[in-house]
Copies of this chain bind each other. A is one copy, B any other.
Amino acid sequence: MNTPSSLEALIEALRCLPGVGPKSAQRMAYHLLQRDKPGALRLAHSLGSAVENLRHCAKCNSFSEEEVCVLCSSGKRDDSLLCVVEMPADLLMMEQTQCYRGMYFVLMGRLSPLDGVVARDLPLDRLIRRAQEQSCEVILATNFTVEGEATAHYLATLLRAQGIKVSRIARGLPVGGELEHVDSGTLAQAVLERREVRE
């Protein structure tokens, strides 16, 4: 066809974004070139600068511009708790609850053999070393998806074998949830993991 080569290259390059197929890539390219050239140049610059400047924090493994990220080097956090999450977005959600003042470890993924992610692709050695050095309780806060649960199970076995105390965040009905509208799996878990009511 008679598509100019730099347009074709841009459409192809946009497909590296997750969830973007040929049609969306085409739509994005037209939009940028027709309506938002400054946005396109800003995006090009941000991509370059992010790839160049960002690395993994030596302690929590999240993205950071420094050797050790702001949170890990703050000194105001409780280092007897180590919360393991899948992605930096999960860390942000935990922080927004404002109920957790411990440290974090970000796996940057989950065990997912179907996507080709196995145990050696996750920084588990660093997690174990970190937990041993701090002699802390590890709180597993991976997602309650099949992959997240499998990851939590695997980590629990691994960490307990090293004599490390391990817990998992609670499953149950969400705050404001109604029995009538919750799925039966969640309700069953909520019954199984019921807590005694004390005075």
Which residues of the other chain, B, contact A39 by a CB distance below 8 angstroms?
A: 13, 16
Indicate with 1 or 0, residue by residue over A166-180, a CB within 8 angstroms of chain B CB atoms.
000000000000000
Select the residue from A13, A34, A87, A89 with max chain B CB neighbours within 10 A: A13
Whether, in the assembled complex, A14 has its beta carbon less than 8 Å from a beta carbon of chain B, the answer is yes
Interface of A (DSSP majority class): helix
Would A40 and B32 count as touching, CB distance under 8 A?
no
Would A65 and B2 count as touching, CB distance under 8 A?
no
Would B108 and A46 count as touching, CB distance under 8 A?
no
A residues in contact (CB < 8 Å) with B: 1-7, 9-10, 12-14, 16-19, 24, 26-34, 36-37, 39-54, 63-65, 69-71, 87-89, 92, 95, 108-109
